[in-house]
Structure 1
């Protein structure tokens, strides 16, 4: 695999130079901002997006609806973790060096990247979360997929990944999030339902709605006899 990167006529390498070459025309502060966003910012934004989606999914009408919805949201970060674990043997098998190891003239915005390049962990994490959120909620999923696409661009812009590293990460993250989703939902939904029934931690799954408010003070309080009478019988007597 590493040999594929040595040819300057390789479209992968050409696109790498084109995207990373944008750093030659951007101000230094923007390069620093892109480095922070690509390394930490977008992943943090995706985590906050998951929390936001979870907070809303708790407010479904019934416990069963809330449990299945929250289980789908929880699967998004779990899928990201599994995808990164799957990537460990892939990286070790391919052993593709970072692009700046084989190609000169790249402007590397982040130092200390000494591990292998294929596939991108950041792209894998971002796309797995985005695809997982898309299963749970279409609107949040589309936002997540957009953030994942931006993450992929940033990794190439920063000079730490080839475009195919990013594409491979997108494919891996999507595959794990979608292919394992049925099994994950079968396991997580009953667990979420059990947690939702708990008196102490049930709020993590289901936001119980407030019951009916008390009757206004101006209304006459029912007599003890009326209180023990079936409502349907009172209506018939009236």
Structure 2
């Protein structure tokens, strides 16, 4: 284990040195991306849900479960961080010079919440909207890498976060699609306007509402 930790610390320092060798504008871009990427994922969740409102109930269920799976992944990650209490490499590794302020002591390192959220969001969106995978999967990988690049995580922190987020999304979608699709069908027939609006018109009602073109 000690040898693996040493290799991981060396890789961390190599990536951090690479970060310092890059132009300042690139360093700032990496710093901004670590937070901006989360906002972009949130926007894509809304777009995926809006698209799914005119799809079948299962499609709507998966679109709604995508952010839910991401939230579950985050909770698991946070519980793990609080239990394992691994110190941040920017504080624990000798010679570390992070590009951003090192998080306070007690804001633990393993696993990376950012990487976990990014993977959960990317996989959930891919399941809800297949063609968007070309965007979401690279986004998640870049966000994970950026956390090491700016110096606040070890490589194993982000690698574990990516795996954790992926598994959480897959499990939540697998277990939740059928019951949530049934609920979506009920909501579409509801007399409560807000519920019907949230669930959307579905395929039949959407097609019925479309203008007739000869």
Structure 1 length-normalised TM: 0.77
Structure 1 counterpart of 2:44? 49
Matched, 1:130 2:122: yes
Larger Cα-atom Rg: 1
Structure 2 counterpart of 1:32? 28
- State the Cα RMSD in Å: 2.4
Structure 2 counterpart of 1:20? 16
Structure 1 counterpart of 2:154? 162
Structure 1 residue 175: deviation in Å?
1.2
Instruction: Describe the SS at the equivalent of 1:161.
Output: coil
Structure 1 residue 16: deviation in Å?
1.0
Instruction: Describe the SS at the equivalent of 1:180.
Output: helix
Structure 1 residue 212: deviation in Å?
4.7
Structure 1 counterpart of 2:132? 140
Matched, 1:187 2:179: yes
Match of residue 116, structure 1, among 108, 114, 122: 108
Structure 1 counterpart of 2:199? 205
Q: How many residues align?
A: 205
Contact 1:21 1:106 in 2 (8 A): no
Matched, 1:58 2:53: yes
Runs (5+) with no aligned partner, structure 1: 215-238
Q: Give the Cα–Cα distance (whole angstroms) in 1 for the partners of residues 185 and 121 of structure 2.
A: 22
Match of residue 64, structure 2, among 70, 74, 80: 74
Q: Which structure features the higher share of helix residues?
A: 2
Structure 1 window deviating more from structure 2 (205-214 vs 172-181): it is: 205-214
Runs (5+) with no aligned partner, structure 2: none
Structure 2 counterpart of 1:86? 76
Query: RCO greater where, 1 or 2, for CA within 8 Å and sep 6 or more?
Result: 2
Contact 2:118 2:143 in 1 (8 A): yes
Deviation beyond 3 Å, 4+ runs, structure 1: 211-214
Offset from partner CA, 1:57-93 (integer Å, 9 cap, x none): 2223xxxx1x211110111111111111112331122
Structure 2 length-normalised TM: 0.85
